[in-house]
Structure 1
Amino acid sequence: MSRSALLLLLSLPLSGVAHALPLTVATSPRIASAVAGADDPVRRGWLTGKVSDAAGKPVEGVTVALKGTSFGTSTAADGNFRLSAQAGSYELVVTSIGYVAQEVPVTVTGGESTPVPAFTLAASNQNLSEVTVTGAKSLNQRTVSVGKLPVATLDLPQSAVTVEREVLEQQQVLRLSDALVNVSGLYVTSTTGGTQEELGSRGFAYGSNNTFKNGVRFNNGVMPEASSLERMEVLKGSAAILYGNVAAGGVLNLVTKKPQFEKGGSVGLRVGSFGLWKPIVDVYGAVGNSEKVAFRLNGTYETANSFRDGVESNRVYVNPSLLFELTPKTTLILEGDYLRDNRTPDYGIGSIDYQIQESRTRFLNVPGADNATNQTSATATLSSRLNDAWQIRAVGAFQRYDNELRSATRPVGVITPGPTYGNLVRGLQRTETAENYYLAQLDLTGTFRTGFLGHTLLVGADADQYQSSTIGYTNPASASRPTTAVSTYDIISLLDPNKSIEQPVERLSSFNELVRNSLTKGNTRRAGFYVQDLLSVSDKVKVLAGVRWSYQETPSDVFNYNTIANINNRTANTYVVNRRFDNAFSPRLGVVYQPIKTSSVFASYSNSFTPNTGVDLEGKTLAPSLIDQYEVGIKNDLFKGALSANVTAYRIVNSNQAQGILPTDPRFATAATASPQELAGQVTSKGVEVDVQSKPMMGWTLITGYSYNHTAYTKSNIYEDGSRLRYNPAHTANFSLFYNFSHSFDNTFLRGLTAGVTSYYVGDKLAGRNSRFLNPATGKPWVDASGNPSADVNKFISIPNYTLFDASLGYTFERFSVRVKLANILDELSYNLHDDNSVNPIAPRNFSATANYRF
């Protein structure tokens, strides 16, 4: 079939008539540049040349860059340079301190190496300003790869924020939570056990389904490595049309550093408070002298103690990648990822009757507690441009996740009045988890016209499989009483660490005494097909419409072992098989109006789904809960794109949330199951988000934002209407301001100096457990043992508001740089909580410094 015939067929489903209309490439400048511009991994070419001084000697370290782009390099010791860029016409700028800058027009041809006439630098009598090559795109001009459509975010009826590598390095981001200060409405919900950072947005938690690396889901049960990141992308709101079963709050995509043909790299060392020691290496370049294969290898080792007594960690991370330019229009990127993370599980300072104990440092776990995780992944991404209008992208990925946890049980003190009040009975827990994840994904994108309509079309399909195996351990049988389990390691006091407490006669002494209790196997299989089209009705009006169909199988096999009476007798074991089959449609519709080229107003509707685990009155599995999301906003690029300012308002409604049918309901008596459920509850989330980012201008860089969110039960049979959901702060605010002194001080000791401040506010946040106005076991109001009215034992914990304030200084001299950071200068105290049993204080005032050498 000819290429023109293929394009004709592709147009037929969209034309809406019996014959095909003429096809031409879309004329929207932003869309066209996004498809064939600097973000495109294919159509690459090279410029080569040499730079000498007036005496004919080669000059090393000269900056060679393409004006107005992020493409640049520097000359080697022999004065030669080789610059890789996307095909197109540019102005090549050659600059070096002490020499007159030169600028010449050049053309980069895809798949070819083009020589540039030799440059002879002339000495300058003026003090030249150093040229720093930075990205020319504003927040609203960038594309987000997690959005799959090759269009600027200004054209999307959805809020999206990207945080670039320069910002991450400037702020010395160590953990993902450090980078959240650049995105409004994205926050840490909890840090259960101190081994992970659980995130949320718009009232919904980001699980592993909502967290991606290079567009592929990854298990966020371990803290990802931030030093490898090229940028962080946040697509707010529903992304179900693109990824299926994702929570309604948004998705987070971590983009790692990619191979480059220009040789270079860096080595660095970060040190800090609490014994932090972190060497970092990043090396990249062409493989040999190849113009077709490039590599990158970045990695780090980290070891640290903690402000928490007895807590320590160490981790190793390696991220190798290869880029193959198979043809001038086709590239293949192979990426690997290995992380070994060992740390002390730490459930914090404990609570008594939902009251947090006043201690920042006391450690409540037992000796030998350990959380050991190994995570390995491999991703292959094949991108090919069929012609100037159409591109195809295929992704295959595999991830392995292994975790072994040995820990005391979570610390909750005895609340019964008397001599045992405040005592913590410590038990032991042990689990072993292994997970395999497989993904295949195929996307076809294209730009064309049918009559007066311009199209940016995405057609795709994906399939993934998630296999898990979890071994659980439980307490052994008593030697003196074979039908009784030994469950206590020891007893301590949360109120008085020096209190002497009588210990049980028979106690657990080590994790090895625990016996295997259960084996749970899961094998989730998912598939989806989706189509999405950005219609350019005119230069000012665009419509985004699409739909996805998702299918999901969730088998779960559970083997239970009676560890007291029949530890080794498998014939007495019970075997439970669960099978679920779900499918759902996820539509999306949005309208964008652009009164001027630098502003847009949008409104959108999208739909997502959440599978349920319960069964209905007839014993049949519940259908997925469908969640409706409405969003309106305005995006502005001000001062010729120097400043982007966006405001978004949203409303998310889960109007068919699963909830239990109460015993007082007449239907309960005829139910085919003991715990029937129905889709009758409702949760509503509403809020406003503001995001402001600037390009570097006159030495200044600004990022600021604000968010308001209220997520509550608006229809429930056990929770009061208006009862807020936990973990979601009502208000957050962020502010980051940096200044580069090189802009104003060309020839003083201040040249190369940067200084900045970062601030992050979290307010009005709840943990603990939602109080219920009816007892779900009886369906009636709560009563005490005497039958008198009483309150639910569940209570909220109000988390103190806090403001983090950090200050940074950096200094660069030639290839060397040093950055120092003082974090939480105000020494604020607050907590990240899960329920009432993982109460983890935030870090106190601390210091870090990073030294780096570029080559």
Structure 2
Amino acid sequence: MAASLNWFRKIVFSYLFTGVALLGYAQTGLIKGIVTTSDNMPAASVSIQLKEIKKATLSDKDGAFQLKQLPEGEYTLIASYVGLRNLVKPVSVKAGETVELNFSFPQNNAELQEVVVSYGKGMNEKVVTAGKVAIRPMDLPQSIAVINKDILERQQVLQLSDVLQNVTGIYLMGTTGGYQEEIAGRGYAFTSNNTFKNGARYNNGAMPEMSGVEKVEFLKGGNAILFGNVAAGGVLNIVTKKPKFTPGGEISFRTGSYDFYKPSIDFYGALDRKETVAYRINSTYQKSGSFRDYVNGERFYINPSLFFNVNAKTTLLVEGDYLKDNRTADFGVGAINYTIADVPRSRFLGVPWGYNSAEQKNLSATLTRQLKKDWQIRGMVSYQNYAAELFGAARPANIKPGGTWIRGLQKSKTAEAYLLSQVDLTGKFKTGKIGHTVLVGADADQYQTKANTYITNQYNANGADEAIRKLNIYDTVNIYDPASFGKRNDIPLLDIDRITTSPILRFGLYVQDLVCLSNKFKLLAGVRYSYQNNRKATVDSMAKGSTGSIAAYTNDAFSPRVGLVYQPSKKVSLFTSYTNSFTVNTGRDIYGAALPPSIIDQVELGAKTDLFNSLLSVNITLYQIVNNNLAQTALTLADGSANIDNSIRELAGEVTSKGVELDIATKPVYGFTFMAGYSFNDTRYTGGNGRNFTTGDRLRYNPAHTANASVFYVFPGQSVLKNFNTGFNAYYVGDRLAGRNPSTANPNYKLITLPDYTLFDFSVGYEGIKHFSLRLKLTNILNKLSYNVHDDNSVNPIAPRQFAATVMYKF
């Protein structure tokens, strides 16, 4: 791995050296300026374009704009805003020079806000960067969702689960330990294989920091052709804020219920007068208590980035990302005989000194080269290091009917190093009258994971009873009697039991073509070849003084994708698609052998529509996903004994997921913006293995119904409340199942039915003072109680009613 890391460093530094060396050869000019109203207020979302070369941009919230990499020449610059007369100015651009050009519309700020429709992109106009090639959503035979910065900001999004309240069919499966959000879609978990940051796989063992996020993209359904070895429900891509040449930034402070404090900064601008290098730095510190007794958290995050205009055709983006997160390990209120314990929502059953500590480091470099018109090559290298340590009370299990619980301990330590490189060639061409949008690419990545397990019974080693010495016993408490807690608060020293080192190599080749057969018919077809080598893993048994191994094994497969789009008009798109993919199953089965991969078939059918001059978008999608061999954590081993190692898994047999998703969204109309969605999903074992999973049983943790609705309103300029805006959100999650599936092997197991719930949030914002804004938010207004549950031993209540306030200064 050290050799790979050195190679990665050489690549990054060569990119940087090349970028710096070529900066002086830039033969382009730059136009920048500020658009204002007659009362000297900034005019946002104004379209700025050059007539001769059809290059355009939008002014930001401060009215600032810039057009970069312009060849020397004479141009006509047009500033336009929906409902207003265009402003036109001639401009002369010279190589290596910056032209400052400011505009002022004759309308004042109040009049500008009276425009019926503000300039912006609708739901079916937002292209996803995770798609690797720019395909209009109306041309894509797939359901997607993009949650932009304006939504993240006005909803004061704190964690990724807040974003899900705006996305149909993507939901929270669990919050195991209070340190991880387990996300799923269409019945399938979004593991670290399905989670990306800026297009590179991202370990989701720790909750991502949202303060530096520009947008979150969701590509639902099958995406194996683009990434390989991804689960069937979809992928999510977190896009961080990028450098800007226009200087600016913001300073904010957020506070809220349960001693929550979060200062943040965001600075950006050019590093040189010729504006060939731009920077951006996002950073935040968070300290918080919790509605759960004795539970608290602390985190630090920083996200520096640099953007180089190497020359007229080449750019280089270098991004860093660092997160340190420490919080109390909290596995919830427990269950007794598969019934959630009737204890206060705030009651903490763990040990006060218990913790989960995670540290995450990322570095990536992306070089983009424009080859000629409509052709581009893009290369990326990314390195990630993730380390986490968990130590505390074991999960609340086997609690007696009277509330007595014999507490044990759990401790684990994980270190993961991940190296990725990929290159994509995209372009457009025609064969006769048939148009093609082509993607050809390759990627390779390397993982190395080191996992430590610890001896949890060694603090009983000196006991008189041999049977007791073998048990994981820390102390005994009663969950109904808080006075029984605190009997023992010392922190035992646990020795390492074994260290497992698992290296994995992956490689993929893929090609995809969007074929424009006519104005109405488009065909998307492609195939990926994936190869994965799980190399020989070593198992060092420290307690026994021996070394073992897990044999290496290899999987490879072709993953095809085909989709047909029919567009009877420019505002209506009907599509159908088929994908086939495979997912490599890590770990060992109950007999100690490697697990074969899961083969997944998915069919999707849908319609995307833009109505009323694109003011309203309505999309509907139907799907069916068949996984021929879903791998799940084994409940017992082959001999019937308990599985205490999460790496022991078994194939549950065929699982089928089918459902429908409905999405509705508007552009801003008379100050109103509306979003809504509904999804139905039914995921069941359709070919259970007959041992622990029975055909017809519903898959756990997945709600059958989810729904969301939000409305945001900006008060008009002539109103008494002209500087205010307000928002209201509703989010519904249907009933789910947890516990354990009863089966012939385990007839005494039971399922836990989790109640449905609806969350209502309300927010209000004020932006009347120059550069300052204030936002207030009230969540879970009705104080609804429900739970996220993993099996029957991590029963975590959802958060009660909470208040948050954010003050921000922008410059």
Structure 1 residues 87 and 764 mapped into 2: Cα distance closer, same or farther (>3 Å)? farther
The one of 777, 780, 791 aligned to 1:835:
791
CA distance in 1, matches of 2:37, 2:230: 58
Is residue 374 of structure 2 the alignment partner of residue 389 of structure 1?
A: yes
* Contact 2:37/2:109, CA 8 A, preserved across alignment: no
Unaligned runs of 5+ in 1: 1-41, 666-675, 776-781, 783-791
Q: Is the 8 A contact 2:57 2:65 kept in 1?
A: no
Aligned counterpart in structure 2 of residue 697 of structure 1, from 660, 664, 669: 669
The correspondence for 1:632, drawn from 594, 601, 605, is 605
Could you say which residue in structure 2 is the equivalent of 1:406? 391
Change (3 A) 1:50 1:413: closer
Corresponding position: 1:253 with 2:237: yes
Q: 1:680 to 1:199 in 2, by over 3 A?
A: closer
Q: Deviations over 1:432-470 (max 9, x none)?
A: 211111000000000000122210000000000111111
Residue 768 of structure 1 pairs with residue 742 of structure 2:
no
**Partners of 2:453 and 2:379 in 1: CA distance:** 38
Q: Which is further off, 130-139 or 607-616? A: 130-139
- Letter matched to residue 269 of structure 1: F
The residue that corresponds to 2:660 in the other structure is: 688
Q: 1:473 corresponds to which letter in structure 2?
A: Y
- Asked whether the equivalents of residues 41 and 109 of structure 2 are also in contact (C-alpha less than 8 Å), the reply is no
| Deviations, residues 716-745 of structure 1 (Å, cap 9, x unaligned) | 223332100001000000001010003xxx
Residue 124 of structure 1: how far off its partner (Å): 7.3
When structure 1 is superposed on structure 2, of 138-147 and 596-605 the one drifting more is 138-147
- Alignment partner for residue 848 of structure 1, among 796, 801, 804? 804
* Distance change >3 Å, CA 111–CA 291, structure 1 → 2: farther
**Aligned twin of 1:141:** 125
Q: 1:808 aligns with which of 759, 763, 770?
A: 763
Q: Secondary structure at the match of 1:146?
A: helix
Task: For 1:135 and 1:283, locate their aligned partners in 2 and report how far apart those are by CA, in whole Å.
Answer: 26
Q: In structure 2, what is the equivalent of residue 438 of structure 1?
A: 419
Does the Cα contact within 8 Å between 1:704 and 1:735 map onto a contact in 2? yes
Query: 1:619, 1:723 → 2: CA distance?
Result: 27
Distance 1:233 1:485, change over 3 A: same
Query: Are the structure 2 counterparts of residues 739 and 125 from structure 1 closer, same or farther at C-alpha, using a change threshold of 3 Å?
Result: closer
In structure 2, relative to structure 1, the CA distance for the partners of 1:49 and 1:183 (3 Å cut) is closer
Contact 1:65/1:92 (CA < 8 Å) preserved in 2?
A: no
Q: Which of 141, 164, 183 matches 1:180?
A: 164
| Map of 2:13 onto structure 1 | none
Name the CA distance, whole Å, in 1 between partners of 2:45 and 2:509.
45
TM-score by length of 1: 0.82
Q: Is the CA contact (8 Å cut-off) linking 2:57 and 2:66 kept in structure 1?
A: no
Give, in whole Å, the separation in 1 of the partners of 2:274 and 2:399.
68
- Alignment RMSD (CA, Å): 3.4
Offset at 1:408?
0.6
Whether 1:529 aligns to 2:484 is no
Alignment of 1:554-573 (within 5 A): 554-555=534-535, 557-561=537-541, 563=543, 570=545, 573=546
SS of equivalent residue, structure 2 residue 453: strand
Cα deviation for residue 555 of structure 1 reads 2.8
User: Which of 176, 193, 205 in structure 2 is aligned with 1:209?
Assistant: 193
Query: Of 727, 736, 741, which aligns to 2:710?
Result: 736
After superposition, the Cα gap between the structure-2 partners of 1:110 and 1:227, relative to the gap in structure 1 and judged at 3 Å, is: farther
CA deviation after TM superposition for structure 1 residue 299, in Å: 1.1
Aligned to 1:360: 345
1:329-377 superposed Cα distances (whole Å, 9 cap, x missing partner): 1111101001110100100001111110122010011131111111110
Q: Which amino acid counterpart does residue 794 of structure 1 have in structure 2?
A: Y
Instruction: Supply the distance in 2 between the matched residues of 1:174 and 1:253 (Cα, whole angstroms).
Output: 17
Q: 1:47 to 1:130 in 2, by over 3 A?
A: farther
Matched, 1:369 2:354: yes
Letter aligned with residue 440 of structure 2: V
Evaluate the alpha carbon distance shift between residue 468 and residue 315 of structure 1 in structure 2; reply closer, same or farther with a 3 A threshold. Answer: same
Alpha-carbon spacing, 1:109–1:692, altered in 2? closer, same or farther (3 Å): farther
2:496 alignment partner, SS class: strand
Match of 1:71 in 2: 58
Q: Aligned match of 1:427 in 408, 411, 421?
A: 408
Structure 2 distance, partners of 1:257, 1:135, is: 22
Match of 1:823 in 2: 779
Pair 1:492 & 2:477 matched = yes
Task: Compare CA radii of gyration and give the structure with the larger one.
Answer: 1
Q: TM-score, normalised by structure 2?
A: 0.87
**What is the alpha-carbon distance in structure 1 between the residues aligned to residue 127 and residue 653 of structure 2?**
38
Distance in structure 1 (CA, Å) of the matches to 2:278 and 2:201: 25
The one-letter code of the counterpart of 2:553 is R
Which deviations, in whole Å up to 9, do the C-alpha atoms of 1:134-189 show, x marking residues without a partner?
76322212210111121111100000010110011111111110111111000000
1:222-371 equivalences under 5 Å are: 222-358=206-342, 359-371=344-356
The alpha-carbon distance between structure 1 residues 45 and 600, as it changes in their structure 2 partners (threshold 3 A), is farther
After TM superposition, give the deviation of residue 481 of structure 1 in Å. 5.1
**Aligned with 1:759 (options 715, 730, 739):** 730
SS class of match (1:140): helix
Q: 1:277 to 1:706 in 2, by over 3 A?
A: same
| C-alpha distance 737-435 of structure 1, shift in aligned 2 (>3 A) | same
- Contact 1:111 1:327 (C-alpha < 8 Å) held by counterparts: no
User: 2:278, 2:714 → 1: CA distance?
Assistant: 33
Relative distance call for 1:302 and 1:658 in structure 2 (3 A) is closer
- Alpha-carbon offset, residue 288 of structure 1: 3.5
Q: Match of 1:517, as an amino acid? A: D
Q: CA deviation at 1:560?
A: 4.7
**Structure 2 unaligned regions, length at least 5:** 1-25, 50-55, 639-647
- CA distance in structure 1 between the partners assigned to 2:694 and 2:37 by the alignment: 78
798, 801, 806: which one aligns with 2:753: 798
Once residues 579 and 713 of structure 1 are traced to their aligned partners in structure 2, the CA distance between those partners, rounded to angstroms, is 30
Distance across 2 between alignment mates of 1:755 and 1:601:
35
Q: Distance in 2 between matches of 1:657 and 1:842?
A: 29
> Is contact 2:541-2:548 (8 Å) kept?
no
CA distance in 2, matches of 1:115, 1:499: 73
- 1:31-67 per-position Cα deviation (integer Å, ceiling 9, x unaligned): xxxxxxxxxxx9996314689999xxx9796779435
Asked if 1:706 corresponds to 2:678, the answer is yes
Q: Is 1:648 matched with 2:621?
A: yes
Aligned residue for 2:134, secondary structure, equals coil
Displacement after TM superposition at 1:768 (Å) = 0.9
Q: Give me the identity figure in percent.
A: 47
Greater shift, 244-253 or 748-757, is seen at: 748-757
Q: Of 526, 541, 560, which aligns to 1:546? A: 526
Distance 1:500 1:328 in 2: 67
Q: Distance in 1 between matches of 2:357 and 2:109?
A: 59
Tell me, what secondary structure is at the counterpart of 2:283? Answer: strand
Separation in structure 2 between the aligned mates of residue 660 and residue 212 of structure 1, nearest angstrom = 24
Q: Which residue of 2 aligns with 1:585?
A: 558
How many residue pairs are counted as aligned between the two chains? Answer: 757
Assess, with a 3 A threshold, how the Cα gap between structure 1 residues 642 and 90 changes in structure 2: closer, same or farther: farther
Q: Is 1:720–2:707 an aligned residue pair?
A: no
Question: Distance between the aligned counterparts of 1:500 and 1:637, measured in 2?
Answer: 59
Aligned to 1:30: none
Q: Is the 8 A contact 1:86 1:110 kept in 2?
A: no
Amino acid across the alignment from 2:385: R
Distance 1:489 1:656, change over 3 A: closer
**CA deviation after TM superposition for structure 1 residue 521, in Å:** 0.6
Instruction: Name the amino acid aligned to 1:800.
Output: P
- CA change 1:541–1:124 in 2 (3 A) is closer
Query: Partner of 2:642 in structure 1?
Result: none
CA distance in 1, matches of 2:796, 2:34: 57
AA of the residue aligned to 2:687: K
Once the two structures are superposed, what CA deviation does each residue of 1:613-641 show, in whole Å capped at 9, x if it has no partner? 58899998554221000000000111222
**How far is the alpha carbon of 1:499 from its aligned partner?**
5.6
* Conservation of the 8 A alpha-carbon contact between 1:379 and 1:398: yes
